[in-house]
Amino acid sequence: MPTKTFIEAIREGIREEMQRDDSVIVLGEDVGKKGGVFLATDGLFEEFGEERVIDTPLSESQIVGTSIGAAVNGLRPVAEIQFADFIFPAFNQLLSEAARMRYRSNNTFGVPMTVRAPYGGGVHGALYHSQSVEAFFTHIPGLKVVIPSTPYDAKGLLRSAIRNDDPVLFFEHKKMYRSVRGEVPAGEYTVPLARAQVTRPGTQLTVVAYGLMAHYALEAADHAGEDGLSVEVVDLRTLRPLDKETVLESVRKTGKCLIVYEDNRFGGYGAEIAAIIAEEAFDYLDGPVTRIAGPDVPGVPYNHVLEDWFMVNPEKILDGIRQLAAY
């Protein structure tokens, strides 16, 4: 099977959906001739023309708001927000408009729109090019939130997102764009939304993670295995709607759960996972549900020593595994 980088898989997913369906358009800042600042849309302008690959002004609310309107009138926009850190001017359009359109119109209007955005730290991006923003959006009923970790999943989930009849936020960890490579089959396939995956079976402890942290969790779990600990890793892939059952099934089996996320710890997405486990798997627990997450500072600092201090890494996860295992 051919292998591709994470960004190649994403680009191929967009291109093939555009080939398959004329109603798919791409819009965002620098997505045209430049092909996006990370080259996620490289070559699409040449292949599909300026009408379907639209360079927008620097106006994120407009990127999302016009995507909503275009979606209402028969298109399937794939909007790119250049960095997830810059999505907040569009927050009102996502929260008040895209997320609520179907509910508030009693199912008479829908917004089949995908909003892609690179997120995450570890790339010397400092406070405003490193942020994890998923918790703001997973809180909102009416939005789907996807964070893939492998090229295979990225392509398959992106295709599902574009074909979905509701707004999907598709966050891509930018550190993975070129550092992660994996098998991607040539033919058409999709990966369903709202399905988590056990990426490493184990019996003594569950680690729940997503995005880059799903890789780091696997690394940490391998090291733990060298110590004789059997760690299971669950890669959520879709954060909302959440595949609760896969998480609960794993925790009921292992009795211990460590949740890993790169975002600030307080009120982060992992807090919801912890609450669900406490409510629905309490009787199976042999230890507290614990978290390894980013520190509670307003952003990732720039200096490499400070950035390393901020970032969750396999060593920190391994520490968390050992502490919980020893409980």
Partner 1 sequence: MAVGHRTESGTSTRRAHAGGLGAAVGLTDEQLIEMYRMVALARAVDERMWVLNRAGRIPFVISGQGHEGAQVAITWALKKDHDWVAPFYRSIATAMTFGMSARDILTAQYATANDPSSGGRQMPGHYGHAEHNLLSVSSPVATQILHAVGIALAAKIRKTGQVAMTFMGEGSSNQGDVHEGLNFAAIHKLPFVLVIENNGYAISVPVSKELALPDVADRASGYGIPGVVVDGADVLGCYQASKEAVARARAGDGPTLIEAKVTRLTGHSSDDQQTKYRPAEELEAERTRDPLPKFREQLAAAGVLDDELIARIDAENKAVVDDATDYAEKEPDPDPANALMHVFAEGVEGEF
Q: Which residues are catalytic?
A: 129
User: Quick one: 142 or 211, whose CB is closer to partner 1?
Assistant: 142
Closest CA to 314 of 222, 207, 216, 235: 216
CB of 14 to partner 1, least distance (A): 17
Among positions 16, 30, 39, 62, the unique one binding partner 1 when judged by CB under 8 A: 62
Q: H or E element: which one contains 105?
A: none
CB of 91 to partner 1, least distance (A): 11
User: Quick one: 146 or 224, whose CB is closer to partner 1?
Assistant: 146
Closest CA to 21 of 102, 78, 101, 94: 78
Among positions 43, 69, 185, 288, the unique one binding partner 1 when judged by CB under 8 A: 69
CB of 201 to partner 1, least distance (A): 25
Q: Are 234 and 281 in contact (CB under 8 A)?
A: no
What are the DSSP E strand ranges found in the chain?
3-5, 24-28, 53-55, 76-80, 114-119, 144-146, 168-173, 181-183, 197-200, 205-209, 231-235, 238-240, 257-264, 290-294
User: Quick one: 72 or 274, whose CB is closer to partner 1?
Assistant: 72
User: Quick one: 109 or 189, whose CB is closer to partner 1?
Assistant: 109
Among positions 4, 129, 144, 175, the unique one binding partner 1 when judged by CB under 8 A: 144
Beta carbons within 8 Å of 63's beta carbon, 6+ residues apart: 27, 28, 29, 56, 79, 80, 81, 90
Among positions 153, 166, 235, 307, the unique one binding partner 1 when judged by CB under 8 A: 166
Question: What sign for the dihedral angle of Cα 23, 142, 14, 187?
Answer: negative
CB atoms within 10 A of CB 198: 15
Per CB under 8 A, which region of 65-73, 178-186, 212-220, 299-307 contacts partner 1?
65-73
* Residue 194 found at the interface with partner 1 (CB under 8 A): yes
* Residue 104 found at the interface with partner 1 (CB under 8 A): yes
Q: Specify the DSSP class assigned to residue 264.
A: E
* Residue 74 found at the interface with partner 1 (CB under 8 A): yes
CA distance 251 to 278: 11
Among positions 28, 32, 65, 118, the unique one binding partner 1 when judged by CB under 8 A: 65
* Residue 109 found at the interface with partner 1 (CB under 8 A): yes
* Residue 19 found at the interface with partner 1 (CB under 8 A): no
Q: Specify the DSSP class assigned to residue 118.
A: E
Side chain identity, residue 101: M
Among positions 21, 46, 47, 165, the unique one binding partner 1 when judged by CB under 8 A: 165
* Residue 107 found at the interface with partner 1 (CB under 8 A): yes
Q: Are 115 and 67 in contact (CB under 8 A)?
A: yes
* Residue 141 found at the interface with partner 1 (CB under 8 A): yes
CA distance 142 to 144: 7
Among positions 16, 37, 39, 72, the unique one binding partner 1 when judged by CB under 8 A: 72
Q: Across the strands, what pairs with 200?
A: 233
User: Quick one: 93 or 150, whose CB is closer to partner 1?
Assistant: 93
* Residue 24 found at the interface with partner 1 (CB under 8 A): no
Catalog residues that contact partner 1 under the rule CB under 8 A: 23, 25, 51-52, 56-57, 59, 61-62, 64-75, 77, 89, 92-93, 96-97, 100-110, 141-142, 144, 164-166, 194, 241
